[in-house]
Amino acid sequence: MAGKIVLCRCEDMTLADLEHSVSRGYRDIEEVKRYTGFGTGPCQGKECLAVVALQLARITGQPAAAIPPFTSRPPLAPTPLKVLARDPGAHVFADEGGTARTTRTQGDEVDD
C-alpha cells in the first residue's frame, strides 16, 4: 500500500486527490480548492498553497507563472470574535440606540 502524500495537512488532502480533481475537469486553482478542500482549513493555505499550485502546474503541463493564487481574504490569521467586536467601526443597530451611519468609504457601483 503506497503511503499518502499529504499536500494539505489541515484537510488531509493528498496528491491523489489533486489528480482526481484535475481528471474530473476541476483544474482552476479555485475549483481545486473547493473540490478537494485544500487551503480551507485553519492555516488557510499558508503551508499548502505554493506546493499545490506547483503540483497543479506540473500535472496540467502549464508553466508555474500561469497558475494564479486563490483569493486572499481577511483575516490573515484566526482572530477571536471578542477582538473584532471591539473595533470602533462596528455598526450599532437601532435596538441598541445606533443610527444608520456607515464608516465605509463607499464608491460608486463598480463594473466588474
CB atoms near residue 9 (< 10 Å): 13
Smallest distance from the beta carbon of 34 to another protein, in angstroms? 5
Distance CA 53, CA 62 (A): 11
Nearest alpha carbon to residue 67 among 106, 33, 96, 91: 33
Specify whether the backbone of 36 is left (phi greater than 0), alpha (psi in -120 to 50) or beta. alpha
What residues between 37 and 56 interact with another protein by CB under 8 A?
Answer: 40-51, 53-55
**Owner of C-alpha cell 471591539:** 86
- Least Å distance between CB 109 and another protein? 5
- Give min distance, CB of 79 to another protein, in A: 5
| Residues 11-40 interacting with another protein (rule: CB under 8 A) | 11-12, 14-17, 19-20, 23-28, 30-31, 34-35, 40
> Cβ 8 to another protein, closest distance in Å?
10
Q: Map the footprint of another protein across residues 53-112, applying CB under 8 A.
A: 53-55, 57, 64-65, 67-69, 71-95, 100-107, 109-112
110/112 Cα distance (integer angstroms): 6
Residues contacting another protein: total by CB under 8 A: 85
Q: SS3 for 59? A: helix
